[in-house]
């Protein structure tokens, strides 16, 4: 089934060329079906890249998904045009009276700052609190996961000695977790971060459970009871070239950066990266939509509480 996205969104042409089934608002109005209402809070600076990556994954399931894009009113984007935001994005005030089957909170390039010093922290806290009564299942990514764990459970992020950067092997801690149903015994996920959430801090909280981790990258997936909140510390949504762009950007800026691990063949940046995480990314989002959103969300969204 298709993902329903706004008319003229740049992602439409890209996904159509990739044979991802997309449906514009105009065509969707002719179908008698209630699509899953998914809210994407996009905190990434390259918003068009991120909305395309996540639309690609959300559109690769048998379920019809209607995507609403949201940005922070308390932050002015430097990398996305005001015209794009006005055309395709909503602010929290414009959606606060609605209910959603699911919400995704992306990462953000602010992880080395204390949470309270982030410009839009107050607005984000209001949104995370609102999600408890207006969203059936919330999926947090990277810094968004760290922010959610800190706000809801008081778990502080910890600095790493050096940036965790590359593609890392993972295994499921909880072998019966339906979030990882169909996964191989070892699966690969991209990471790009300077901080982590420590296993020992997570294990002190009885209301959350670690679902998957990596010997090198640490804890990867955490959930609350019944999956109303899911926290993912990596970036399974990344495109083939995303880590390459980050690497070349930091090299050009003169920042200390190592070649991303397990990414370029023979660690040669002149060669095209190997994509080893695409199937895991598609299955992760498919499982979330199926088991934690579609099968348990109420038909009447106003009943979410």
Catalytic residue (one of 99, 136, 140, 235): 235
Residues 6+ apart with CB under 8 A from 27: none
Q: Exposed, middle or buried, 104 (CB in 10 Å: 0-12/13-18/19+)?
A: buried
Give catalytic status of residue 258 as yes or no. Answer: no
Residues 6+ apart with CB under 8 A from 19: none
Give catalytic status of residue 237 as yes or no. Answer: yes
Residues 6+ apart with CB under 8 A from 67: 3, 4, 5, 38, 40, 55, 58
Q: Exposed, middle or buried, 130 (CB in 10 Å: 0-12/13-18/19+)?
A: middle
- Nearest partner of 43 among 139, 108, 118, 121, judged by Cα: 108
Give catalytic status of residue 142 as yes or no. Answer: yes
Distance CA 146, CA 140 (A): 8
Distance CA 41, CA 79 (A): 16
Distance CA 305, CA 136 (A): 8
Distance CA 202, CA 219 (A): 9
Catalytic residue (one of 99, 111, 142, 170): 142
- Nearest partner of 171 among 187, 158, 157, 192, judged by Cα: 187
Active-site positions? 142, 235, 237
């Amino acid at each position: 089934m298709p993902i329903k996205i706004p008319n003229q969104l740049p992602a439409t042409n890209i996904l159509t060329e990739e044979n991802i089934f997309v449906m514009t608002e105009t065509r969707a109005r002719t179908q008698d079906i209630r699509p899953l209402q998914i809210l994407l809070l996009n905190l990434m600076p390259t918003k068009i890249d991120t909305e395309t990556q996540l639309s690609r994954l959300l559109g690769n399931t048998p379920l019809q998904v209607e995507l609403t894009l949201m940005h922070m009113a308390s932050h002015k984007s430097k990398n996305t045009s005001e015209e794009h935001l006005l055309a395709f994005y909503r602010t929290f005030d414009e959606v606060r009276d609605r209910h959603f089957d699911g919400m995704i909170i992306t990462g953000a390039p602010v992880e080395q700052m204390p949470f309270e010093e982030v410009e839009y922290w107050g607005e984000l806290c209001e949104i995370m609190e609102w999600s408890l009564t207006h969203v059936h299942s919330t999926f947090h990514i990277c810094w968004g996961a760290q922010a959610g764990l800190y706000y809801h459970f008081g778990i502080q992020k910890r600095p790493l000695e050096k940036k965790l950067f590359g593609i890392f092997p993972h295994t499921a801690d909880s072998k019966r977790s339906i979030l990882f149903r169909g996964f191989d015994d070892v699966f690969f996920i991209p990471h790009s971060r300077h901080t982590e959430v420590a296993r020992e801090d997570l294990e002190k909280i009885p209301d959350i459970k670690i679902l998957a981790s990596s010997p090198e990258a640490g804890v990867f997936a955490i959930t609350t009871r019944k999956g109303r909140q899911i926290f993912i510390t990596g970036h399974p949504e990344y495109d083939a070239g995303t880590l390459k762009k980050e690497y070349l950007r930091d090299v050009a800026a003169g920042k200390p950066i190592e070649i991303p691990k397990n990414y370029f063949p023979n660690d040669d940046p002149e060669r095209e990266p190997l994509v080893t995480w695409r199937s895991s990314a598609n299955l992760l989002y498919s499982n979330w939509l199926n088991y934690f959103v579609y099968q348990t969300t109420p038909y009447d969204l106003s009943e979410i509480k």
